[in-house]
Each structure stands twice: as C-alpha cells, then as structure tokens.
Structure 1
Amino acid sequence: MKPPIGPVTLRWLVLGVIVVLWEAAPRLGWVPPVILATPSATLIAGVEEADIFARALMFTLTEITLALAISYGLGGLAGVVIGASPLLRRALLPLLSSVYAIPFVVIYPVMTAWLGIGPASKVWFAGFYGFFPVVLSVAAGVQLVDRNLVLMARAAGASRSQMATEVLLPAALPAIVSGLRIGGALTTIGVVVAEMLAATDGIGFLITQNRTMFRTPEVYFGILLVLCLAGALDTLIGLLERRAARWRPLREGEIRHV
C-alpha cells in the first residue's frame, strides 16, 4: 500500500512546522527574543547586511574548499594505501582511530601559534579535522573489497594505478561516500569553529562578533548560512554518488537500473 504522504512531502511538512514554532516561540513569550530570534527578523537582518554576509560567506567558502582538498585528497590517498596493505592496516588503523577519538579542537591553539590567526591555520585545522573520517572510511571500504575482483584484475594484468582507480575505489564506493559525508561536515564545522575562536573575517567571525553585541538575528542568519553550506556539500556528494554508482562493480544477482 502506498503511504499517504511521500518522504519529500513529509520533509517539507516537518520543516514548515519547525519554522512556525520558531516564529511563534519568541512572539508568544515562550523564549526571550534575545535568545531566539524569529525567522522573519533573521531574514530581515540578513537582507539588510547582505553585502557583509556575502563577503564573509565567500571568505569562508574559499577556506572550506581548500580544507576539503586536504581532507579528501590526503585522506582518500592514505585510505587507499592503508586499506590495500594488511601490514599498514594492522599498524596504522588503531593509531588513527585513537587520534580520531581525541577532541581535535584542542590543537587549534597550536595551529595558530605556528600559522597565525589568518586563513592558513583555519584551512589546515579543518583539513585535518575531516582527514580522519575520510581515511578510516576509505581504508575500511578498500579492505572489504571482494578479493575475487582483485584476483581477476591481477590476472588481467592491471597495473597498481588501474587496480586503485578501476577496482578498489569503485567497489569501496559506499564506504567512501560515507567518509566523504562525515569528513565534509567536519571540515565545514572545523572552518567555522576556527573562525569563531580566532579570526578577522568569515561567517564564524561574524557569528562571534554579533553574539558579543547581542545582535541575535544576525547570529541566527550566520548559523543559517553555515547550515546551507553543509547542506549544499551533502547534496553535491549525493549527486556525485549517483553519478559514480555506474562505476561500481555489480554483486552477484544484482541488476543495475539505468
């Protein structure tokens, strides 16, 4: 039986209820406006200071892009190398898992001491913040690749680069996408948190600046921009996942829908 409400309709319905309650709570006195600004006041504040937020958004987006190059590039490469080597898996995966469990924000003061409070410290901090889930997910995915696929590729004379790009990566795609989602979210969070701690520009800096001046609508507009950035990145990863799914080798009995 077909459900009465589809998932997309339900999603928008839940979002609408949240927005209505959000608007009503400060207006009805349930929450002080200085703590929770209404959506209407938040959007008005964003429109009035659109130029300021736009400049800060571009600054933060540039930092996120550079940090993603670190987390995805280094993390993906390290994950493939570690996942393909039993020796490296046994030696490095426990170490990486232990480091990943440490609250990474504690090293940001060290980064600022080395690189200053400019963009470099934010990029490297956020890049390594997202590095660990990417390398762990990719290594786990490569480790679980069907050995028969590897044997067939070797028998066909595949080189190491062909083995990585045409066998290991496509077969490990689900785990890789999971790591990209988590790593992308942590990278975005890392940039914004770093900007909130020590910066002179960016969305995180604006959130902290407006918070100290009790400009609640501007704070919430900055938070909305961060949510939009994270949502856009997740949507992009989902699009890449659907496009890359055609590369994934079929499992026994599986039919690929075109």
Structure 2
Amino acid sequence: MGRLAVLRWQVLSVAVAFLAWEAAVRVGLLDPLFVPAPSMVLRALPSLAAEALPRLLDTFGKTALGYAIAAAVGVPAGLLLGSRRLLHDVAMPYVVALYGVPKILILPWIALVFGIGLSTAVLSAAVFAVFPIVVLVAAGTRDVDPTLVTVAVSMGATRGQIGRKVLLPAVLPSVLTGLRIAMVFAILGVLLAEMLAGHRGMGYLMQRQAMAFKAPELFASTAIVSALSVSVVLFLEHLNRRLGQWR
C-alpha cells in the first residue's frame, strides 16, 4: 500500500471517529457536560484563543528551559556512566530506580521547597526529562563496539578525535531518542506543576476549566496543547532522521 493510500485511510479513520463521537453525544450516549461534541469544541476555540496563546507561550517557555537543563545534565551524565564501568555498576541501579519512581510523587516536594511559580515548573520539567536521557545515552555508550576505539587508538587518534569521530556517531541515535522522549516528559512535568502549584500557563487554565465544568473549553485547551506537543515531537523525529543520514 502506497504512502498516499495510507494517508487517505488515516484521514478517513479520524473522520469516522469524530462523526461517531458527534453522533454519540447527539443521541444521548455521552453526556455533553463531561464529553462535549466535536462541534461544541470547535465553537469554543475562537473565544479561547486570546486567553490560550499567552498561556501556551508561557508553558512552552518553561518547558524549553527545563528541557535544556535536562539535556545539559543528562547527555554528559549518560556518556560518563556508559564509559566508566565502575561508575556504571555503582550508580546505574540508583538511576534506574529513580527513573521508575512516579515523578508526580516528587512534585509536592518541589513545590514545597520552591513555592508557586516559574522555578517549580522548570525544575519539574528537568526532573521529568533527565532520566530517560541518562538511561538511553548510558545504554548507547555501553553498546559501542570497543573494537572501533581500539582501532582508532592504534591509528594514533587523540581522545578528542575518538570522542568526535568514533563515540559521537555511534551514540548519536541513543542521544536523539532520549531527547525526543524527554520532550514529552518535560511538557508533562510543566503541565502537572502548573496544575498543582501554578498561577499561569496552560496547565493552570485547564485545571480551572475542569473545576468549573467547562468541558468544551477544556477539550479545546487539550487539543491546542496536544497539537503543539505533537508538532514538536515530529520536528525532533525529522531532526533525528536528518542527523541519522549524517551518521
């Protein structure tokens, strides 16, 4: 099946799902107080846009800061853990254990220490995002064929040349995968922080809409955040493919 045919089936399946959703609300199978029809969500979008845009920029600004911190810490930490056997054996079990802890349990402690505002949201994004980067980069570094390093050393390569010409191309797929997954976690961390201890951003707006039973506005806000999040992840996936060609 060609790519165009697949796209047609995808569009058709989405259209059928929305039509079924609309029909289910209109015949009374779904309560519009909790699950509004798609037409109600579309009508809510124009009135929501003026309020949502500055909040959306605020949310993704905090996400970008937290994501940058996670990348700056996670990539070097993963390379270090993956390239030092003793350090890996000692520290990696703790990293994996912390990775497995539901991060929402940490949010109240972050809010307690840093209060309500920017710091809590940024730090939450960083904490949510750093662990997949560390784990995947460390695993990718461990999987590098040692023969490549041995051959490079025998040819007189310096440490910098080995890192740049041998390790970096070999580890790059793991780094890019970790960064792509981390973006989703960073967005989640900011939204949860805004809901729990925020007074700005889309998370705070969505929490207010839910408490006021404004279902159409809540679904519209969810659609806006989801669309932008998917766009960012698709961009990172495109970047992954382009850099994969360079490798």
Q: TM-score range by the shorter chain?
A: over 0.9
Report the TM-score when normalising by structure 1.
0.89
Aligned to 1:225: 224
Task: Give the CA RMSD over aligned residues.
Answer: 1.8
Aligned to 1:61: 60
Give the match's secondary structure for 2:94. Answer: helix
Aligned to 1:122: 121
Contact residue 115 and residue 197 of structure 2 kept, 8 A: no
In 1, distance between residues paired with 2:49 and 2:101?
Answer: 37
1:96 to 2:101 alignment: no
More helix by share: 2
> 1:83 offset after TM fit, Å?
1.0
1:212 to 2:211 alignment: yes
Report the TM-score when normalising by structure 2.
0.93
> 1:4 offset after TM fit, Å?
9.9
Contact residue 80 and residue 164 of structure 1 kept, 8 A: no
> 1:246 offset after TM fit, Å?
2.5
Larger CA deviation: 232-241 vs 12-21: 12-21
Contact residue 204 and residue 222 of structure 1 kept, 8 A: no
Structure 2: give runs of 5+ residues left out of the alignment: none
> 1:5 offset after TM fit, Å?
7.3
Render the CA deviation track for 1:54-99: whole Å, top value 9, x for unaligned: 0110000101111110122211111111111111211111110011
Aligned to 2:45: 46
Contact residue 70 and residue 128 of structure 1 kept, 8 A: no
Give the match's secondary structure for 1:49. Answer: helix
Aligned to 1:168: 167
Which of structures 1 and 2 has the larger relative contact order (alpha carbons within 8 angstroms, sep 6+)? 2
Aligned to 1:202: 201
Give the match's secondary structure for 2:200. Answer: coil
> 1:31 offset after TM fit, Å?
0.7
Contact residue 46 and residue 53 of structure 1 kept, 8 A: no
> 1:121 offset after TM fit, Å?
0.7
Aligned to 1:254: none
Give the match's secondary structure for 2:101. Answer: coil
Alpha-carbon distance change, 124 to 166 in structure 1, aligned in 2, over 3 angstroms: farther
The alignment of Structure 1 onto Structure 2 pairs a total of residues equal to 247
Structure 1: give runs of 5+ residues left out of the alignment: 249-258
Q: Percent identity, aligned pairs only?
A: 33
Aligned to 1:256: none
